[in-house]
Protein backbone atom coordinates (compact mmCIF):
# COMPACT_ATOMS: atom_id res chain seq x y z
CA UNK A 1 0.00 0.00 0.00
CA UNK A 2 1.54 3.27 -1.18
CA UNK A 3 1.17 6.06 1.41
CA UNK A 4 1.56 9.80 0.91
CA UNK A 5 1.78 12.04 3.99
CA UNK A 6 0.67 15.68 3.98
CA UNK A 7 1.83 17.85 6.88
CA UNK A 8 2.16 21.51 7.81
CA UNK A 9 4.19 21.48 11.02
CA UNK A 10 7.05 19.84 12.84
CA UNK A 11 6.00 16.38 11.70
CA UNK A 12 5.83 14.37 14.91
CA UNK A 13 3.00 12.18 13.60
CA UNK A 14 4.71 11.71 10.24
CA UNK A 15 7.86 10.76 12.14
CA UNK A 16 5.89 8.17 14.14
CA UNK A 17 4.65 6.66 10.87
CA UNK A 18 8.15 6.58 9.38
CA UNK A 19 9.64 5.09 12.56
CA UNK A 20 6.97 2.39 12.52
CA UNK A 21 7.83 1.67 8.90
CA UNK A 22 11.53 1.48 9.75
CA UNK A 23 10.73 -0.94 12.59
CA UNK A 24 8.63 -3.16 10.31
CA UNK A 25 5.39 -2.23 12.10
CA UNK A 26 3.49 -0.63 9.22
CA UNK A 27 2.25 -3.86 7.70
CA UNK A 28 2.26 -3.79 3.91
CA UNK A 29 2.22 0.03 3.86
CA UNK A 30 5.16 2.05 2.54
CA UNK A 31 5.48 5.82 2.67
CA UNK A 32 6.38 6.96 -0.85
CA UNK A 33 6.27 10.75 -0.41
CA UNK A 34 5.87 13.58 2.10
CA UNK A 35 4.44 16.93 1.02
CA UNK A 36 3.99 20.19 2.90
CA UNK A 37 2.25 23.49 2.30
CA UNK A 38 4.94 25.29 4.35
CA UNK A 39 8.44 25.63 2.83
CA UNK A 40 10.12 25.55 6.26
CA UNK A 41 7.97 22.85 7.88
CA UNK A 42 9.84 20.35 10.02
CA UNK A 43 7.96 17.50 8.33
CA UNK A 44 10.08 18.10 5.21
CA UNK A 45 13.29 17.32 7.10
CA UNK A 46 11.98 13.79 7.69
CA UNK A 47 12.35 12.86 4.04
CA UNK A 48 16.15 12.78 3.96
CA UNK A 49 16.29 11.12 7.41
CA UNK A 50 14.07 8.24 6.30
CA UNK A 51 14.95 8.04 2.61
CA UNK A 52 11.56 9.30 1.41
CA UNK A 53 11.06 12.11 -1.12
CA UNK A 54 9.81 15.24 0.65
CA UNK A 55 8.68 18.39 -1.14
CA UNK A 56 7.07 21.76 -0.57
CA UNK A 57 4.05 22.50 -2.76
CA UNK A 58 2.87 26.07 -3.12
CA UNK A 59 -0.71 26.17 -1.74
CA UNK A 60 -1.50 29.71 -2.96
CA UNK A 61 -3.75 31.56 -3.35
CA UNK A 62 -5.54 30.67 -0.09
CA UNK A 63 -4.15 30.58 3.48
CA UNK A 64 -6.47 28.11 5.22
CA UNK A 65 -7.92 25.90 2.52
CA UNK A 66 -6.71 23.84 -0.41
CA UNK A 67 -8.53 25.20 -3.44
CA UNK A 68 -7.86 26.73 -6.85
CA UNK A 69 -4.32 26.69 -8.24
CA UNK A 70 -2.80 25.39 -5.00
CA UNK A 71 -5.25 22.50 -4.96
CA UNK A 72 -4.37 21.67 -8.57
CA UNK A 73 -0.65 21.59 -7.69
CA UNK A 74 -1.31 19.29 -4.73
CA UNK A 75 -3.50 16.97 -6.79
CA UNK A 76 -0.83 16.69 -9.50
CA UNK A 77 1.99 15.99 -7.03
CA UNK A 78 0.04 13.48 -4.95
CA UNK A 79 -1.36 11.76 -8.05
CA UNK A 80 2.19 11.38 -9.43
CA UNK A 81 3.08 9.39 -6.27
CA UNK A 82 0.24 6.93 -7.07
CA UNK A 83 -1.05 6.63 -3.49
CA UNK A 84 -3.37 4.00 -2.14
CA UNK A 85 -3.71 6.14 1.00
CA UNK A 86 -3.26 9.87 1.69
CA UNK A 87 -2.60 10.64 5.36
CA UNK A 88 -3.25 14.11 6.72
CA UNK A 89 -0.80 14.29 9.62
CA UNK A 90 -1.02 17.82 10.96
CA UNK A 91 -2.03 19.24 7.58
CA UNK A 92 -3.65 22.51 8.56
CA UNK A 93 -5.81 23.22 5.53
CA UNK A 94 -9.45 22.52 4.82
CA UNK A 95 -9.66 19.98 2.00
CA UNK A 96 -12.11 20.93 -0.75
CA UNK A 97 -14.16 18.84 -3.25
CA UNK A 98 -11.54 18.76 -6.03
CA UNK A 99 -8.96 17.03 -3.84
CA UNK A 100 -11.60 14.84 -2.20
CA UNK A 101 -12.82 13.65 -5.60
CA UNK A 102 -9.29 13.04 -6.90
CA UNK A 103 -8.56 10.67 -3.99
CA UNK A 104 -12.06 9.53 -3.03
CA UNK A 105 -12.08 7.02 -0.20
CA UNK A 106 -8.29 7.19 0.18
CA UNK A 107 -7.81 10.12 2.59
CA UNK A 108 -7.54 9.77 6.37
CA UNK A 109 -6.95 12.38 9.05
CA UNK A 110 -5.76 12.35 12.64
CA UNK A 111 -7.68 14.67 14.97
CA UNK A 112 -6.72 15.40 18.61
CA UNK A 113 -10.11 14.75 20.18
CA UNK A 114 -12.62 11.95 20.52
CA UNK A 115 -14.82 12.87 17.59
CA UNK A 116 -17.58 13.76 17.15
CA UNK A 117 -16.76 15.90 20.19
CA UNK A 118 -14.54 18.96 19.67
CA UNK A 119 -14.04 19.07 15.89
CA UNK A 120 -12.08 21.84 14.20
CA UNK A 121 -9.17 23.80 15.58
CA UNK A 122 -7.76 23.29 19.09
CA UNK A 123 -9.49 19.99 19.90
CA UNK A 124 -7.27 19.46 22.95
CA UNK A 125 -7.94 22.95 24.30
CA UNK A 126 -11.68 22.59 23.67
CA UNK A 127 -11.76 19.30 25.63
CA UNK A 128 -9.62 20.71 28.45
CA UNK A 129 -11.74 23.84 28.85
CA UNK A 130 -14.90 21.72 28.85
CA UNK A 131 -13.53 19.71 31.80
CA UNK A 132 -13.82 16.24 30.26
CA UNK A 133 -12.54 13.28 32.26
CA UNK A 134 -11.58 11.27 29.17
CA UNK A 135 -9.94 12.81 26.09
CA UNK A 136 -8.04 11.31 23.20
CA UNK A 137 -7.60 11.23 19.45
CA UNK A 138 -9.40 9.93 16.38
CA UNK A 139 -8.39 8.66 12.95
CA UNK A 140 -11.21 9.21 10.48
CA UNK A 141 -11.94 9.18 6.79
CA UNK A 142 -11.96 12.62 5.25
CA UNK A 143 -15.17 14.02 3.76
CA UNK A 144 -16.40 17.50 2.88
CA UNK A 145 -17.56 17.95 6.49
CA UNK A 146 -14.59 19.11 8.60
CA UNK A 147 -13.70 16.27 11.01
CA UNK A 148 -17.01 14.61 10.12
CA UNK A 149 -15.93 11.54 8.16
CA UNK A 150 -16.33 7.95 9.31
CA UNK A 151 -14.37 7.11 12.45
CA UNK A 152 -11.77 4.40 11.83
CA UNK A 153 -10.34 4.18 15.36
CA UNK A 154 -9.82 6.14 18.55
CA UNK A 155 -7.46 6.13 21.52
CA UNK A 156 -8.42 7.49 24.92
CA UNK A 157 -6.43 9.14 27.68
CA UNK A 158 -7.59 9.88 31.23
CA UNK A 159 -7.67 13.46 32.40
CA UNK A 160 -6.37 13.34 35.96
CA UNK A 161 -6.72 15.76 38.86
CA UNK A 162 -4.23 18.61 38.50
CA UNK A 163 -3.87 18.03 34.74
CA UNK A 164 -2.67 21.05 32.78
CA UNK A 165 -3.33 21.75 29.14
CA UNK A 166 0.35 21.01 28.46
CA UNK A 167 0.37 17.62 30.22
CA UNK A 168 -2.88 16.63 28.52
CA UNK A 169 -1.47 17.62 25.13
CA UNK A 170 1.62 15.45 25.73
CA UNK A 171 -0.54 12.45 26.61
CA UNK A 172 -2.75 12.92 23.56
CA UNK A 173 0.25 13.32 21.26
CA UNK A 174 1.72 10.07 22.60
CA UNK A 175 -1.60 8.35 21.89
CA UNK A 176 -1.61 9.82 18.36
CA UNK A 177 1.88 8.48 17.69
CA UNK A 178 0.70 4.94 18.49
CA UNK A 179 -2.77 5.12 16.92
CA UNK A 180 -2.01 6.50 13.46
CA UNK A 181 0.64 3.92 12.47
CA UNK A 182 -1.56 1.14 13.87
CA UNK A 183 -4.51 2.25 11.73
CA UNK A 184 -2.29 2.47 8.63
CA UNK A 185 -0.96 -1.05 9.28
CA UNK A 186 -4.51 -2.35 9.69
CA UNK A 187 -5.66 -0.66 6.49
CA UNK A 188 -2.71 -2.16 4.61
CA UNK A 189 -3.84 -5.63 5.64
CA UNK A 190 -7.33 -4.92 4.26
CA UNK A 191 -6.12 -4.02 0.75
Mean pLDDT by 10 residues, the chain (191 residues): 97 97 97 97 96 96 91 97 97 93 97 96 96 98 93 98 96 98 96 75
Q: Which residues are known to be catalytic?
A: 111
For residue 18, the model assigns a pLDDT of 98
DSSP class of residue 114 equals -
**Contacts for 115 with CB less than 8 Å, ≥ 6 apart:** 138, 140, 147, 148, 151, 154
For residue 185, the model assigns a pLDDT of 98
Q: How far apart are CA 168 and CA 128, in angstroms?
A: 8
Q: Show me where the domains of the chain are located.
A: 2-190
Closest CA to 121 of 90, 159, 164, 142: 90
For residue 125, the model assigns a pLDDT of 97
54 neighbors 33 (Cβ within 8 angstroms): yes
First-to-final CA distance of the chain = 7
Beta strands 134-141 and 107-111, pairing class? antiparallel
For residue 164, the model assigns a pLDDT of 97
For residue 63, the model assigns a pLDDT of 86
For residue 68, the model assigns a pLDDT of 93
Q: How far apart are CA 125 and CA 109, in angstroms?
A: 19
For residue 62, the model assigns a pLDDT of 87
Q: How far apart are CA 39 and CA 170, in angstroms?
A: 26
Where does 2-190 sit in CATH, by number? Answer: 3.40.50.170
Amino acid sequence: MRVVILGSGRGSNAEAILQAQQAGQLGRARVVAVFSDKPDAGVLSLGPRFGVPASYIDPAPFKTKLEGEGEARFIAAVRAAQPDLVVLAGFMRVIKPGFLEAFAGKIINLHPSLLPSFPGLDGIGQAFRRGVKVAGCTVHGVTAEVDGGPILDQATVRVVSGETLETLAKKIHAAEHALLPAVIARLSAEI
